[in-house]
Amino acid sequence: MEALIAGLVAAGLLAAWLWPKLRLRRALARPLAPPLRAILARNVAQYAGMDLAHQKRLQRLVQQFLHEKAFVGCAGLDVTDEMRVTIAGQACMLVLGRACDASPATLYPSLHAVLVYPGAFLVPRREVDAAGVVTEQRQDLLGESWGDGRVILSWDHVRRAGMDESAHHNVVLHEFAHQLDSESGSTNGAPYLGSTERYRSWSDVLSRNYAALRRDAMWGQQGVLDHYGASNPAEFFAVATESFFEQPWELAARHPDLYEEFLKYFRVDPRHWVAQPRPVFDEAFGTELVYGQWR
């Protein structure tokens, strides 16, 4: 009798382990529907520049994301396929290079739900000053990544970033970079890299570029990296991730060592997806600038 019970328990555990995998395999059995592919082409600026293999891989990742993650509309918003596919497409770009065509990838394992607001949203904040005085306030945000398995986004800013190639701030890339960062166990600007040697190189390069950005922010010098990245190492990684995918040529020119680290981590080169910008000629000095940097 005990052997029978043990066998039934083992069978139940096996079924519980297999069932999600079978459901995912069934969801991926058919290609992404043409209307959903059209949304990717329309709302993910880099998609048109990808080769066919990367486009198909991104489509598959989007299918998996839509299958695994819940979308919740907030402040009266009805979440549409346009919203789901746009957010999924931009988020899945970050794992495109690490995905395998043969088997489903692990997509943001700690993430359970994406909360979508129509526009910027208010969140409560508690600040304690040096004297120990607590101040309660509410802060306007475009997006936020939470440690409890949720990402919160403003649809208005998601839509504009995906459609406008000149929009260099992408809230989806930023918040999902935080999700990748947290996979190492803490959100500190160092995602899971797999080896001590990789962490050593990562720490050296990102620390150096982070310090340079803090100096630029102090003196008001604007480069390719947004000054918000000078807040802390976690925000630096998220801001640099935005630049890597949105302004790859400029980032490679201004921060070549940082770009190389990101090439090794993300395993894609976004320069293949976007046209190389033309150098700017500074008429005042009669000098050519390369993406904002002196030749």
Q: How far apart are CA 193 and CA 266, in angstroms?
A: 10
* CATH of range 191-295; options 3.40.50.970, 3.30.70.1450, 3.40.390.10, 3.40.50.300: 3.40.390.10
Q: Which residues contact 138 (CB under 8 A, 6 or more apart)?
A: 122, 123, 124, 125
Q: Report pLDDT digits (tens) over 29-83.
A: 788 999 999 999 999 999 999 999 999 999 999 999 999 999 999 999 999 999 9
Identity of the amino acid at 124: P
Ranking 3-12, 21-30, 37-46, 182-191 by mean pLDDT, the lowest is 3-12
Considering the entire predicted model, what is its pTM? Answer: 0.84
CA dihedral angle for residue 107, residue 162, residue 269, residue 214, rounded to 10 degrees = -90
Is 90 exceeded by the pLDDT of residue 122? Answer: no
* CATH of range 31-126+136-183; options 1.10.472.150, 3.40.30.10, 3.30.465.10, 3.40.50.300: 1.10.472.150
Q: Are 153 and 162 in contact, with CB atoms under 8 Å apart? A: no
Ranking 145-159, 235-249, 270-284 by mean pLDDT, the lowest is 270-284
Residue ranges of domains in the chain = 31-126+136-183, 191-295
235 versus 293: which is more confidently predicted?
Answer: 235
123 versus 78: which is more confidently predicted?
Answer: 78
Q: Report pLDDT digits (tens) over 199-249.
A: 999 999 999 999 999 999 999 999 999 999 999 999 999 999 999 999 999
